[in-house]
């Protein structure tokens, strides 16, 4: 196959994902696309998301039509510059369709994220890691989230870097005890995580509460943080929807939780049955209700706007963020090398516009 042809493959969003269904193509053959442009809507039994162009070029052919299932790793479309001859594209399509018809995943065993846990001062912290590039990126999720909140940016980043996404105390598969719930507890956990895994010089990325945590880590050990990327961070600026925090922490049932989750996204359809279900499963675990209750006052009291940050800083916000509005970015303008606002994305900007967030992190890594 002509090496100018880039196959667009079915992504692997989570360990259990084997196939995905293309519900809609957002681009048509012949369209010029840029890296990160949305190409198709993908649905799995766990999650729905947008498949983004892995590179720029012309969408030359669609291999898997809307409504069809494709195994992870299978080519579902082909990108190539306009001057690659049509015969070559046709041959590549035929080859890809044959693989698709056999239902054969192009994915060799052992790829995708590995999960593990480390002991930090007697407390277990879980993480996922992907990729083996020379630079290390560490992703820190927000209040009520976990390492899989980063699914859509983790895998693209792992193509070039070593990526770690950890579960903060009180979250995911990590210890549920958060002590007094103070920011220091969480920041110490992240610093301890870097110590135990021997990660000396990392690019830190934090979303929401994780942004405050990442900022605190950068303040504690600036020499170990090569760059800091804050994604809709908490604590930098005056605005915060406390109703969301308290509502999320207090909700016990699907009917109570679902209206709060709608605030996280610009597009309410992102709140799928599976998302609500996964969050309820997390919230029902022993110790989680106590952990979230302890963290709420911490998040509400965060005031980091004047805390020094002696590391290269980049900031990204969703223009339609209803939990921590993008107007908070003003406190970081002038301190950051770049402040980006993604229109049409909400608080979960890394889920709604993962390409934009990935590219910003790439710029942070390459400096």
Partner 1 sequence: MSRNITYREAINEALVQEMERDPSVVVLGEDNAGGAGAPGESDAWGGVLGVTKGLQPRFPDRVLDTPISESAFIGAAIGAATRGLRPVAELMFIDFMGVCLDQIFNQAAKFRYMFGGRAVTPVVIRTMYGAGLRAAAQHSQSLYPVFTSVPGLKVALPSSPYEAKGLLVQAIRDDDPVIFCEHKALYDTVGEVPAESYAIPFGEAQIVREGGDVTIVALGRMVSVAVEAADELAASGVRCEIVDPRTTSPLDEDTILESVEHTGRLVVVDEAGPRCGTAADIAALVAGKAFGALRAPVGTVTPPHTPVPFSPPLEDLYVPDATRVAAAVKSVLDWKA
Residues lying near partner 1 in the complex (CB under 8 A): 126, 173, 176, 252-255, 273, 277, 281, 284-287
Nearer to partner 1, 43 or 362 (CB): 43
As measured in angstroms, the least distance from the Cβ of 252 to partner 1 is: 6
Residues 65, 51: Cα–Cα separation, whole Å = 14
Instruction: Supply the DSSP string of 312-327, one letter for each residue.
Output: -EEEEEETT-SSS-GG
Record the tokens describing residue 156, joined without a space: 């693209």
Q: Could you tell me the smallest distance in angstroms from the CB atom of residue 250 to partner 1?
A: 13
CB nearer to partner 1: pick between 87 and 286? 286
Q: Please say which residue, 3 or 65, places its beta carbon nearer to partner 1.
A: 65
Q: C-alpha angle 45/71/25, rounded to 5°?
A: 75
Query: What stretch of H or E contains 237?
Result: none
- Residue closer to partner 1 by CB (options 172, 354) is 172
Give which of 71, 100, 59, 96 is closest to 10, Cα–Cα.
71
Closest CB 157 distance from partner 1, rounded Å:
24
DSSP-derived letter for residue 224 is: G
In the complex, least distance from residue 286 CB atom to partner 1, rounded to whole angstroms: 5
- In the bound state with partner 1, the residue whose beta carbon lies nearer, of 127 and 317, is 127
What's the min distance (Å) between Cβ of 196 and partner 1? 18
**Minimum distance from CB of 279 to partner 1 (Å)?**
13
Return the structure tokens found at 194: 């870097």
Beta bridge partners of 62: 77
What order do you get walking across the sheet with 38-43 strand by strand?
Answer: 48-52, 38-43, 19-25, 69-71
| Burial letters 38-74, b for 16+ CB under 10 A, else e | bbbbbbbebbbbbbbbbeebbbbbbbbeeeebbbbbb
Per DSSP, the three-state class of 228 is: strand
Shortest distance, position 23 Cβ to partner 1, whole Å? 14
Here the tokens at position 192 are: 């301890």
Q: In terms of CB distance, is 283 or 340 closer to partner 1?
A: 283
**Nearer Cβ to partner 1, position 41 or 88?**
41
């Amino acid at each position: 196959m002509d090496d100018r042809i880039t196959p667009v493959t079915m992504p692997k969003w989570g360990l259990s994902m084997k196939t995905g269904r293309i519900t809609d193509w957002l681009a048509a053959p012949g369209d010029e696309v840029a890296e990160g442009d949305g190409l198709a809507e993908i649905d799995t039994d766990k999650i729905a998301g947008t498949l983004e162009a892995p590179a720029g070029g012309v969408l030359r052919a669609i291999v898997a039509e809307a409504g069809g299932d494709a195994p992870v790793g299978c080519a579902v479309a082909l990108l190539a510059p306009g001057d690659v001859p049509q015969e070559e594209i046709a041959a590549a399509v035929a080859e890809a369709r044959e693989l698709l018809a056999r239902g054969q995943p192009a994915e060799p065993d052992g790829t995708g994220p590995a999960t593990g846990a480390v002991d930090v001062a007697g407390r277990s912290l879980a993480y996922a890691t992907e990729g083996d590039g020379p630079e290390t990126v560490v992703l820190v999720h927000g209040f009520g989230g976990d390492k899989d909140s980063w699914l859509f940016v983790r895998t693209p980043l792992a193509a070039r870097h070593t990526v770690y996404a950890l579960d903060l105390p009180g979250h995911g598969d990590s210890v549920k005890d958060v002590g007094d719930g103070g920011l220091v507890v969480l920041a110490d956990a992240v610093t301890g995580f870097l110590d135990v895994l021997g990660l000396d010089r990392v690019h830190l990325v934090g979303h929401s509460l994780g942004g405050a945590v990442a900022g605190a880590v950068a303040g504690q050990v600036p020499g170990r943080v090569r760059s800091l990327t804050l994604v809709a961070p908490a604590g930098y600026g005056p605005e915060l929807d406390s109703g969301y925090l308290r509502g999320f922490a207090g909700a016990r049932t699907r009917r109570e939780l679902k209206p709060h989750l709608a605030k996280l996204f610009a597009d309410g359809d992102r709140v799928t049955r599976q998302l609500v279900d996964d969050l309820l499963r997390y919230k029902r675990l022993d110790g989680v209700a106590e952990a979230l209750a302890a963290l709420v006052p911490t998040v509400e009291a965060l005031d980091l706007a004047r805390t020094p940050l002696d590391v290269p800083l980049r900031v990204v916000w969703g223009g339609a963020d209803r939990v921590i509005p993008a107007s908070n970015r003003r406190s970081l303008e002038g301190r950051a090398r770049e402040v980006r606002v993604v229109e049409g994305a909400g608080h979960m900007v890394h889920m709604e516009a993962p390409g934009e967030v990935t590219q910003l992190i790439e710029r942070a890594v390459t400096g």
